[in-house]
Structure 1
Amino acid sequence: MMTDFKELGLSGTILKALERKGYTTTTEIQEKTIPLLLEGKDVIGESQTGSGKTAAFALPIIEKVHEDSKNVQAIILAPTRELAMQVAKEFETLRGDKKVYALAVYGGSSMSEQLRSLKRGIQVIVGTPGRTLDLIKRRALDLSHVKFAVLDEADEMLNMGFIEDIETILGSTPKDKKMILFSATMPRAIIGIAKKFMRDPVHVKLERKEATLQIEEFYYNVMARDKYQVIRRVVDMNDDFYGIIFCNTKADVDSVTHQLMNAEYKAAALHGDISQPQREKILLQLRNKQITILVATDVAARGIDVNDLTHVVNFSLPQSPENYTHRIGRTARAGKKGIAISLLTPSDKRKLKFIERMVNREILGREIPSAEVIVEARKGKMITKVHSLIEAGKSKQYETFADDLLANHEPKLIVAALLKEAFRGVLDEKKYQPLKKVSAGGDREEGRGRSFSGGRREKSNDRGLSERDTRGRGRSRETGRSFSERTPGRSFDRKEGSGRSFDRKESSGRSFDRKESSG
């Protein structure tokens, strides 16, 4: 049951700021976390994005920091520049009349401007680990007066390889600070940070059942060569499609986007080679729905905050179960429903089973919509649209035009000609190419929902660097390389008679990148 913000002991100026934003009652994470932080407890919050966690830690911080001091009193670390900017903006809207100022620091932005702001005096720093560490090393950022340290989306920062930077930054803060850690998942390395830097933390865990029920998850069996054709069918079957297509490589992102744009879909690409100004332009277009299809890698999509996305499509299965959770969590926000579709090739069977074990639920297969089914569905939507136009009211100008047409042609022919022009290509079944049969112990039509047992592994040829602030530390998961090539840790093999094994590393959460067995 939701609680009124007035019952949490927040000050009048904060309550007024919340009222201006239209916030009157808490989300579950806010209800459970805010009182603990106001009492001075360390808190571990295990919740998905879109749960209202930013306000959960921002409100207590605004209440507790001294506005008459120019010292940095709170440090919030976030995995991406977008999330850092969003959190800093949220502080500005929540502070009300309190003179508590937040500054977002991240790579790709002006260092000199950030230095000037720090000299003027800032109480709250929201930054990516790379840029934050740079400022500390330059002696431009002093964390000796910090009262609060927050790790936002800690598992994402772990996956990006920021673990050492985080430990160095936290080591620069006072031991008696209050610490808040938010994460959608709790890998061992995150638990290790909590044990090292937190004091008797209270663990607040939100049940995922309700959120999961809002997301309709399924997969299509498909050969790799037909993935783009299936994407077209998915989009055409859903006229309201507004979502993200996730690829594991930048090469796939560029290829899919190019084909979609050539087919006149409103699509754009987002990956590590996209400049920051162009990235911000694309995200603005996405929020304004000038773009309805964003094709992105996991790294590039981190920090994107759009509430109304209807679909998430896994063009390729992600490199870890944690990434699967983060991907599908982009939809079904704010109580709305969403759809998550995975395109499953014959070599993906074990990856899917591994994901199912980790998320503790079965993901079912469905039949790929045929050209006939798509055309019939679109025809029904056309009829609905025409009925709506008729019911919208009469137009004298067009009625006169209609009289002229009816005087010279049969009504049926007129309507058919107008529909053909208005819905050009919508009912053309020939635009959907035949799909190759998928083998699973024999040929069969794809999309029957049966599991795979074999097939050659798709190769990843992307070698791009991650968006690690622009500092260039480490490789991202966009590279297609296994984390085991870069990060030391304990592994285990799960052999299934194929000479290949899964490799899971403690320091990166869970990974199931395959590697060739040496013997």
Structure 2
Amino acid sequence: MSDALADQLKGTSLNDAASEDWKKNLKLPAKDNRQQTEDVTNTKGLEFENFQLKRDLLMGIFEAGFEKPSPIQEEAIPVALTGRDVLARAKNGTGKTAAFVIPALEKINPKVSKIQCLILVPTRELAMQTSQVCKTLGKHLGINVMVTTGGTGLRDDIIRLQDPVHIVVGTPGRILDLAGKTVADLSECPMFIMDEADKLLSIEFTPVIEQLLQFHPKDRQVMLFSATFPLSVKDFSDKNMANPYEINLMDELTLRGITQYYAFVEEKQKVHCLNTLFSKLQINQSIIFCNSTNRVELLAKKITELGYSCFYSHAKMAQQARNRVFHDFRNGVCRNLVCSDLLTRGIDIQAVNVVINFDFPKNAETYLHRIGRSGRYGHLADGWSLRAIP
């Protein structure tokens, strides 16, 4: 966004005294005074009111604890509101989800009982989290949000879609099932949104994504968001997006605000090293990553034996059990979570201030996404990686 456009938007806020009265009755959460990094604070000075959003939407935004738009929100929201395709790259934890949820909520007509927005994500956990953001920000709008993923009963989704649904959040395979059975009618759905687009456009998902697009009207709006944009994203954009507005707030893989440490230890000494970190660090909550499901369970058992509260989660667990673990960890029931790369994508738990690679990741992108589970929304955090000595 140009500085001139930003200045123009600043002049659109409502400044009369009467327009401010509604704010006095908002149920605002406690102010978060933790230090934040520049990738969240270095804004053009816009307010959410500058986007001329519905008052009921503004109420949900402020009551969720948002105060001012982050850089990705400043860039994406006004463009998305015009209906233009958006291709946005920004660091994890800088407000990407709200950058597409807010314009989607603004554009949806709750009086029209049709699916008006489809949000695709790569994992069940991210689908649950994103749907909750939609519900929280849109709680005053009368908008119905549905989350659907594989691993749950298709029958329940079919029954749910008999009632009005405005936003569907889910994983590609399940939504394709529903669309293919003509249960989910996407023929008049104007918004097609992909979060963690690099993962969604992997070899595994791309054919499904392109099939899903065929169920949408030709003039749909497509929005892609992610922290990394490999060639698969460019190929998809060239083929399926119309003159997208490109936003790049990451010139390189970066984890600003997260201090990264490396410990070179023998494999058999890793648990001892981990125990030392637990005793020395000030941990609000931590996520510990392993490279296999077997090691996840073994390490969680070891941590529990050391006397620390610990949950674990991996792809081979039953969906209901994974949901319960994610819900309880998010709500602070447990301090430490051991997991596989299942939780590297988009999961936003702001209490997490330490991430530990018990097993070192196999590539740079996985490293970025793992360590990016800490330092959410510009808060300072630590990332530790244990490197085994050959």
Give the TM interval when normalised to the shorter protein: 0.7 to 0.9
Unaligned runs of 5+ in 1: 347-454, 456-519
In structure 1, give the amino acid aligned to 2:72.
Answer: I
By relative contact order (CA 8 Å, sep 6+), the higher-ranking structure is 2
Corresponding residue of 2:182: 139
How far apart are 1:280 and its partner, in Å? 2.4
- Cα 1:39–1:244 shift into 2, 3 Å: same
Q: Distance in 1 between matches of 2:202 and 2:367?
A: 13
- Residue 191 of structure 1: CA displacement? 1.3
Change (3 A) 1:35 1:43: same
Structure 2 portions without partners, runs of 5+: 1-42
Cα distance in 2 for partners of 1:149, 1:180 equals 6
Q: In the aligned structure 1, how far is the partner of 2:348 from the partner of 2:162?
A: 31
Q: What is the CA deviation profile of residues 2-50 of structure 1, one whole-angstrom value per residue up to 9, with x for unaligned ones?
A: 4111111212222233233343311111111111011221111101222
Residue in 2 aligned with 1:153?
196
SS of residue in 2 equivalent to 1:120: coil
1:91 alignment counterpart? 134
Q: Is the 8 A contact 1:17 1:93 kept in 2?
A: yes
Q: Tell me by how many angstroms 1:209 deviates.
A: 8.5
Amino acid at match of 1:3: L
Map of 1:391-430 to 2, 5 A cutoff? Answer: none
Secondary structure in 2 aligned to 1:90? helix
Asked if the contact 1:71–1:123 (Cα under 8 Å) also holds between the matched residues in 2, the reply is yes
Which residue of 1 is the match for residue 294 of structure 2?
A: 251
Shift of 1:67: 2.2
Separation (CA, whole Å) in 1 of partners of 2:194 and 2:306: 42
RMSD: 2.1
Q: 1:195 aligns with which of 238, 242, 247?
A: 238
| Cα deviations by residue, 1:434-473 (Å, 9 ceiling, x for unpaired) | xxxxxxxxxxxxxxxxxxxxx4xxxxxxxxxxxxxxxxxx
Query: 2:316 matched to which residue of 1?
Result: 273
- Cα distance in 2 for residues equivalent to 1:332 and 1:61: 26
Which residue number corresponds to residue 71 of structure 1?
114
Match for residue 293 of structure 1 among 336, 339, 348: 336
Letter in 1 for 2:126: L
TM norm structure 2 = 0.83
Q: How does 1:492-503 map to 2 (within 5 A)?
A: none
Supply the AA of the counterpart residue of 1:105.
T
- The one-letter code matched in structure 2 to 1:219 is Y
1:254 aligned partner, one-letter code: E
**Percentage of matched positions with identical amino acids:** 32
What one-letter code is carried by the residue in structure 2 that aligns with 1:264? G
Q: Equivalent residues in 2 for 1:302-341 (5 A)?
A: 302-341=345-384
Q: Check conservation: 1:253, 1:271, Cα contact below 8 A.
A: yes
Does 2:113 align with 1:50?
no
Matched, 1:60 2:103: yes
Larger mean CA deviation between 94-103 and 70-79 belongs to: 94-103
Return the letter of the residue paired with 2:91.
Q
Runs ≥4 residues deviating over 6 A: 208-211
Counterparts of 1:81-480 in structure 2, within 5 Å, are 81-158=124-201, 161-207=204-250, 212-240=255-283, 242-346=285-389, 455=390
Aligned equivalent of 1:397: none
Distance 1:160 1:246 in 2: 24
Distance 1:339 1:208 in 2: 22
Q: CA deviation at 1:301?
A: 4.9
Counterpart amino acid of 1:213? Answer: R
Shift of 1:302: 3.9
The alignment status of 1:31 with 2:74, answered yes or no, reads yes
How many Å separate the matches in 1 of 2:260 and 2:51?
37
The 2-side partners of 1:162 and 1:90 are apart by: 24
- Residue 232 of structure 1, CA deviation: 1.2
In structure 2, distance between residues paired with 1:12 and 1:331? 32
- Could you tell me whether the CA contact under 8 Å between 1:272 and 1:300 is conserved in 2? no
| Alpha-carbon distance in structure 1 between the residues aligned to 2:225 and 2:280 | 37
Deviation at 1:109, TM superposition (A): 2.5
In 1, distance between residues paired with 2:137 and 2:275? 42
Q: Is the 8 A contact 1:81 1:303 kept in 2?
A: no
* Matched-pair contact (CA < 8 Å) for 1:270–1:301: no
Q: CA deviation at 1:82?
A: 1.8
Give the aligned partner of residue 21 of structure 2: none
| CA displacement at 1:110 relative to structure 2 | 3.1
Which structure's CA Rg is the greater one?
Answer: 1
Q: 1:52 to 1:96 in 2, by over 3 A?
A: same
Question: In 1, distance between residues paired with 2:333 and 2:59?
Answer: 34
Deviations 1:207-237 (A, max 9, x none): 4789733111121111222222211111112
Higher mean Cα deviation, 82-91 or 144-153? Answer: 82-91
Task: Summarize the Cα distance change of 1:219–1:170 in structure 2 as closer, same or farther, 3 Å threshold.
Answer: same
Whether the 8 Å CA contact 1:8–1:35 is kept in 2: the answer is yes
Distance 1:145 1:276, change over 3 A: same
- Aligned 8 A contact 1:266 1:290 in 2: no
Q: Aligned equivalents of 2:220 and 2:147: distance in 1?
A: 21
- The SS at the match of 2:223 is strand
CA 156–87 in structure 1, closer or farther in 2 if over 3 Å, else same: same
The separation in 2 between residues aligned to 1:179 and 1:207, in whole angstroms, is: 21
Instruction: Say if 1:22 and 1:317 are closer, same or farther in 2 by CA, change over 3 A.
Output: closer
Contact preservation (8 Å) 2:86, 2:223? yes
Could you say what secondary structure the match of 2:375 adopts? Answer: coil
Amino acid at match of 1:189: S
Structure 2 letter corresponding to 1:245: I
- Residues 260 and 206 (structure 1 numbering): CA distance in 2 closer, same or farther, change over 3 Å? same
Contact 1:312–1:328 at 8 Å: present in 2 too?
yes
- Asked if residue 80 in structure 1 is aligned to residue 123 in structure 2, the reply is yes
Q: Which residue of 2 aligns with 1:41?
A: 84
Q: CA deviation at 1:241?
A: 5.7
Give the Cα–Cα distance (whole angstroms) in 2 for the partners of residues 318 and 160 of structure 1: 20
The answer to whether the 8 Å contact 1:45/1:181 transfers is yes
In structure 2, relative to structure 1, the CA distance for the partners of 1:186 and 1:23 (3 Å cut) is same
Instruction: Please give the secondary structure, in 2, of the residue aligned with 1:330.
Output: coil
Number of paired residues?
A: 347
Taking structure 1 as the reference length, what is the TM-score of the superposition?
0.63
CA shift at 1:162, angstroms?
1.7
| Contact 2:284/2:351, CA 8 A, preserved across alignment | no
